[in-house]
Structure 1
Amino acid sequence: VPALMRRPGDLLTTVLLGTNLVRILYFVVSATLIMRCRDQVDNGGFWASTLAVITFLGVVIASEIIPKTLANIWARQLSPSVAPVLKVLGRIVAPMQRFLMAALIEPLTRLLAPARSHRGDLSADEMAALLALSQKRGLIGQDETELLQEVLELTDLRAGDIMVPRVDVVAYEADDSPEGLLEIIRAKRITKIPVYERDLDHVVGVIYAKRLLVNPGRPLREILSPVRFVPESAPLERVLLQFRATRSQLGMVVDEYGGTAGLITL
């Protein structure tokens, strides 16, 4: 899954090409059946119109409503199963994708959205050299230099670099007693803990100690808070921005197979 997400443009193109090819085939077959029905069946006009309506509803329900609803509800559970299919499909449509990119998409992109110049941007190495020069000339102090260097190093870190490894993760079974969880929270002195079903690869949410204390005796599933899932290779800077935007305090780090690799907390 993370391998596909690292190239979202290719993934989107693969999905669109695959979807449209299936729809074209579906409409060709449907149109053939509708025309035969109109010409060969009694009261053919009525039945042809009925088939046309059924064809339209079939497309809307089967290719729009059902897939998107399932993906919205069970995205994490379905992703590991769907990813290999998309990977194979991506290889099949790759020649067509490259042709469309070279002959149509890239020329239109250059025409409609010319690339903006980034000559004013500084690379991380250039910023580091600028910091060293500024400190040498006395423009900034040692403390400021170290702080800014740590900020620069942050841009190179990935979620997997700072996560708590799976073997050290403290988690709790969703159907176990709230009292047992409260004992763990007090013993470990933690304020939030992931909750799972069956095993740590199936985390269903996070419990905050404060919410557990004000809801004594309630089933854990009723006081679960959503948990974020981030790829192990995700840039830490982006992860922190997402946490800030969603006000999340805990995220589960997943590996390329969708299994739990560890967690990140704020």
Structure 2
Amino acid sequence: EVVPKRFGMRCASDLAPRFARPLIVCIYLFRPVRTILERITTLFYKQFIPSSKTLSEDEFLTVIEVGEEEGILNEEERVMVDGIINLEETQASDIMTPRVDITGLDLNDSPEDQRNIIRSCRYRYLPIYRESIDQIEGFLDVPRFLLSGQNDIATSATKAYFVPENAPLDGLLTDFQRENRRIAIVADEFGGTAGLITRGDILEEVVDDVDNEFGDRQENIHPVDENKWLIEGSVSIEDVNYELDLELEAEGADRIAGWVTAQIGKIPRAGELIEAQGCRVTVERVRRQRIMQVMLEKLAPSPEAPVQENS
């Protein structure tokens, strides 16, 4: 299936003039037969094969390969495509909004409290639940609900969609696209709510890959004063060491965010502070369990104690 497509794409300019007129004649001659066969095929196709608007894996890789060879994809676009392909290495739990940061709507609250939450909501979708965030029943599309003039929240909500914590992002993005979904609840091993993930969160991972590849490292390391810098969490340890003349290192980490996590031993919260390897680092901003910004201050080397000679 793939070989004829590639052959046609490569030789289109040579083949088109030779076969254009014969093909036009054939199209008119066989149009009645073709129409009948198409209707029969469509009838059986709908009965036995689920519809899909996505490309197969082979077709997708072929399109990318040909696009790169023909110069259709530039380097930045190629990095973005690689980021999409590499989504299989990242799980939903890695980028989800954790349970403690979820804003939801309890159906058992008073109508006045519910209206206040909806009006102050900064998100498009609100999870709705009864009594506990572990009992999520659906999602409320806030703008659509406000514009509709309806009052019944339960009937206006869409059914909740659940995914496991270890769901790979590539499969999850495909599910979002196929089922036309934008948001899902990440369930833990006991069926409770571990977090929340949106289609935008996944796409943001791809954009971050492009920024990390082409972003100027100096633009992500902002000097505050002589010995203090505001650093983006995605900056590599190598770049930090090069720009600030440091020797930071941590096993298994290649970004400053990973270095901080390795020093603390857990996912830090904003405001946490550590001193290690000649610097003091304060976590400035954390989003969805990811360190977004840190403040790094170089410490003056401690004076060595004088060596006392034995008399």
TM-score normalised by length of structure 1: 0.45
- Looking at secondary structure, tell me which structure has more helix per residue: 1
Q: Higher strand proportion, which one?
A: 2
Q: Please give the TM-score of this superposition, normalised by the length of structure 2.
A: 0.39
Answer 1 or 2: higher relative contact order, Cα 8 Å, separation at least 6: 1
